Amino acid sequence: MCGIVVSAYFSGDAVLPDEAVTENYTDLLAGLYEATAARGPDAQNVFKVHVQSESLPRDSHALNGTNGLCLDLYASELRLRGDLPVVQPHQVGSNVLCWNGEILPHENDGIKLIEAIEALSDVRRLPELFGTIEGPGSNVSCIMEEVPTNHFYCIDLHRLANSQDSLLASVNRELPRDTLEIPVGLDEAPAAFHKAIDGLIYQLDRSVKLQVQNVPHQLSVNGQARVAVLFSGGIDCTILAFFASQNLPIEEPIDLLNVAFDNPRKVQAQSPSATKKKKKKPPIVQAQAPSFNVPDRLTGLQEVEELRRLCPGRTWNFVEVNVPYEESQIARVTIERAMAPSNTVMDLSLAIALWFASRGVGTVRSSPDGPAEAYTSTARVLLNGLGSDELLGGYGRHRTAYTSGGWQALIDELQLELERIPSRNLGRDDRVISSHGKETRHPFLSLSVVTFLAGLPVHLKVDPRLELGVGDKILLRLAARKVGLLEASGRKKKAMQFGSHSARMEVDGKEKEKRGDLLLQVGAAVT
């Protein structure tokens, strides 16, 4: 993702800025520009718009020496589409556009969008134009248009947010019949699932193809990877890695980014003394060698071997990102700043895993028993399996809903999941990952995949009557088996913060700190 900063201020005789205020404003803007440049390391630029106020005389004390409204539009560029370098903000005529997003496939997003805006016969058709964009995005546009002076003009954001145009599609509310048979397992897909399985394979393959096929080749240096997968060895990331392999030239490597944390609390719990009666624990002192054999490392190592068997001509770089405790605490201030305004214990445990994984600094091995060699991933496009659990019933709360209220309660919960997707973790995760000048892409959240899965009857997606590792996300599990991912199809879900051991690292933490919704303590990080 690129980056955007918009600053607006009024300057003139009516507003003589205090010198301290001006200094604070300048410092704040410089910090924002620096953070935004990290999101778009390829190019940065600022475009200034001055709307002169005729009612105010010119004033040498005004900010920038200008009276009236001042807009500074700053944009940075992470170039992942198009053949030529592009510098934002885009300008055509009197229109100015800062664009941060993905309009697939190949053309440069911003240029394509501002040309479409300029071609509109009526500015009121802008919502219709943006409704045709499938990928994620945000923008700031400055469209200068003179309006009559006999009205006050305002935008009612509340009304817009609650309009029918802002609602996502609804899930299929068809209830399964009372005599619905229970599938016997994953070995053989019932006939009723065949069409849905083929449909999901087609939609996911298409979604991944659109998101990996046109990453500029010039970003690949000396055969290094252009695409990476945030990889735990679970079913979601593994099937994305498989489809990425199907849609990239076979000679290109793919990086599998697997993160593991040295967690003193886990190390202490596994020590022989942990079986004794608990005593008051002292502050952390790293006395034992760090252990990176976390659950996600073990499943990742197993799963990369399955990918190598299925795609024997592909180079799979299994990148072991090992994070010592001290390093994680030193980086905590930076990570908290990147994930803001998200500020809970759970936010941090997830953000810290994403920050280190997406940085891509670790080691690789030429063979399972070979020595670890230093490696830094050059991939700037990272695939993420977010959305699978929400759309296919992969969370424990889905099984709980079925237990308490049957199929109807499960359908209601899946509808809530669909409605919550825009306000969940996408912003936080994007801010964290893009701070490395990289872009995360979510094939499960492409419009075509969401529409397809939302339209399926609930029992074709999830069946809580079956055990964990079978009934949850049963459609995805059957699809994985059909393409040959037998081991991945049976893996049980493990949340990222627990699979990587990024959660609850403090040995002397209190019981209440298990709650992920607690706000972070200011100044708790090591600096």
Alpha carbon 52 to its chain centroid, in Å, reads 41
Task: Please tell me the distance from the alpha carbon of residue 11 to that of residue 57, in angstroms, as a whole number.
Answer: 11
Task: Please tell me the distance from the alpha carbon of residue 297 to that of residue 383, in angstroms, as a whole number.
Answer: 18
Task: Please tell me the distance from the alpha carbon of residue 332 to that of residue 326, in angstroms, as a whole number.
Answer: 10
E strands in 437-522: 439-441
Which strand ranges, in their side-by-side order, compose the sheet holding 137-143?
A: 90-92, 95-101, 137-143
pLDDT tens per residue, the chain (527 residues)?
688 999 887 766 445 456 666 778 888 889 899 999 998 888 899 988 877 655 544 544 444 555 677 888 999 988 887 767 788 898 887 788 888 877 755 567 788 888 888 888 887 888 888 877 776 777 777 666 666 767 777 767 677 666 555 556 689 999 999 889 899 889 989 999 999 999 999 999 999 999 998 888 754 456 789 999 999 999 999 999 999 999 999 999 999 999 999 988 877 777 665 555 454 544 443 444 568 999 999 999 999 999 999 999 999 999 999 999 999 999 999 999 999 998 899 999 999 999 999 999 999 998 888 999 999 999 999 999 999 999 999 999 999 999 999 999 999 999 999 888 877 778 899 999 999 999 999 999 999 999 999 999 999 999 999 999 999 999 999 999 999 999 999 999 999 999 999 988 876 655 445 566 677 765 554 43
For 45, 87, 137, the CA distances from 118, given in Å and listed in that order, are 21, 18, 19
Question: Quick check: 431 and 355 in contact, CB under 8 A?
Answer: no
Dihedral angle sign, alpha carbons of residues 72, 73, 78, 83: negative
Query: Which of 139, 131, 46 is CA-nearest to residue 101?
Result: 139
Query: Which of 74, 73, 72, 54 is CA-nearest to residue 64?
Result: 72
The DSSP H or E segment spanning 305 is helix 295-310
- CA dihedral of 32, 34, 37, 43, whole degrees rounded to 10: 110
Its pTM surpasses 0.85: no
**End-to-end alpha-carbon separation of the chain, Å?**
28
What the chain holds in terms of domains, given with CATH numbers, is 3-166 (no CATH), 224-274+292-395+421-508 (3.40.50.620)
Beta pairing class for 90-92 and 137-143: unpaired
- CA dihedral of 234, 237, 239, 241, whole degrees rounded to 10: -130
